[in-house]
Amino acid sequence: MERRAVYRNKVLPWLLIGPQLLLVLVFFYWPTSQALYWAFTLEQPWGGGNLWAGLDNFLYIFRDDRYWGTVLRSAFYALAATGLSMLVALTLASFVDRALKGTKLFQSVFIWPYAIAAPAAGVAFRFIFSPEAGLVGAVNDIWPGIWDPATNGMHALAMVIVCHAWLGIGYNFVFFLAALQMIPRSINEAGAMDGARPFRRMLDLQLPLIAPTAFFLLIMNIISSFTDSFGLIDTMTEGGPIGQTEVMVYKIYVDGFKGLDYSGAAAQSIVLMLLVIGLTFVQFKWVERRVHYN
């Protein structure tokens, strides 16, 4: 029998959800409404109100080649960071699921990076990847100049992607491990008895069964890649060198707070929001068709 909590006092439920509703209103709906207002208006240079601009702000950014460069860069960033993070997390979860020695320790250690703030991780990785004194920069002692994220845009972008993927590994690991442990042991044992190697059992047996979890993580990781990369880029590269690590969310900050183009930045934020919503819709509409929940 289904049990439900019934409140005789009709005011009490609203009091309980009131703080959450207030947070959502203040930190989501209100900023969104202000961004919509700014996106369709143009602030006068010395104040005195806003002028209606219609779609001019959107047309301006769509005609900007630099903006389209950030869009393509953001897409590559999202795909690379998501793929790398999920692949490593699934590999680690597969080893831990096999009950290797030290499994309990691994379960606790692998989740620790997720608790680290992005700016703190960015500072740490900036030192690790430093071409002068970092651990990765040690390769310059063998091949001088082979690694230099300060002047090479691809090196800088790879550095940020690796850091972003590292931060998400713990989150993905927990979900993958939980999904793998829900698979009946008899299925893996039957595959082993039929002569299937561990990698083949992962592809043919385990991956189809954990597809719903993988689909959920795919959505969450892509959203995170588009929206949560600001802290890393700001502390590691500041969009450099020469804008080669400038993604959509960071360009909003640069144009709005450094360039003081609030209307253009607001228009970019609306485009980013619509892009994330569109990608999520596409994933639910077409990608989810390959996901089986039974």
DSSP string for 2-35: ------SSSHHHHHHHHHHHHHHIIIIIHHHHHH
| pLDDT tens figures, 252-265 | 999 988 888 889 99
Burial class (CB in 10 A: 0-12, 13-18, 19+), 79: middle
pTM over cut 0.85 = yes
C-alpha distance from residue 110 to each of 36, 104, 114, 173 (Å): 40, 10, 9, 7
| Contact by Cβ (8 Å): 41, 51 | yes
What is the average per-residue pLDDT within 262-276? Answer: 92
Q: Nearest CA to 86 among 192, 20, 176?
A: 176
Where in the chain are the domains?
A: 59-290
Which residues, listed in sequence order, are joined to residue 120 by a DSSP beta bridge? none
Interval 28-33 mean pLDDT:
89
Type of residue numbered 179: A
Q: Which amino acid is at 121?
A: A
Query: Nearest to residue 202, comparing CAs of 91, 83, 84?
Result: 91
Residue with more model confidence, 258 or 111: 258
Q: How far is the C-alpha of 167 from the C-alpha of 57, rounded, in Å?
A: 35
Q: What is the mean pLDDT of the chain?
A: 86
| Predicted confidence (pLDDT) per residue in 119-129, tens digit | 899 999 999 99
Mean pLDDT of 151-179: 93
Q: What's the pLDDT score for residue 208?
A: 84
CATH fold of the domain at 59-290? MetI-like fold (1.10.3720)
What was the pLDDT predicted at 268?
A: 95
Q: In 10 A of CB 42, how many CB atoms?
A: 17
Q: What is the pLDDT of residues 64-105, one digit of tens each?
A: 999 999 999 999 999 999 999 999 999 988 888 776 666 677
For residue 253, the model assigns a pLDDT of: 93
Q: What is the pLDDT of residue 188?
A: 75
Q: Compute the distance between CA of residue 94 and CA of residue 100 in angstroms, rounded to an integer.
A: 10
Which residues does 49 contact at the CB level (< 8 Å), separation at least 6? none
pLDDT at 215 over 80: yes
> Is the alpha carbon torsion for 73, 74, 75, 79 positive or negative?
positive
Query: Has residue 1 got a pLDDT over 60?
Result: no
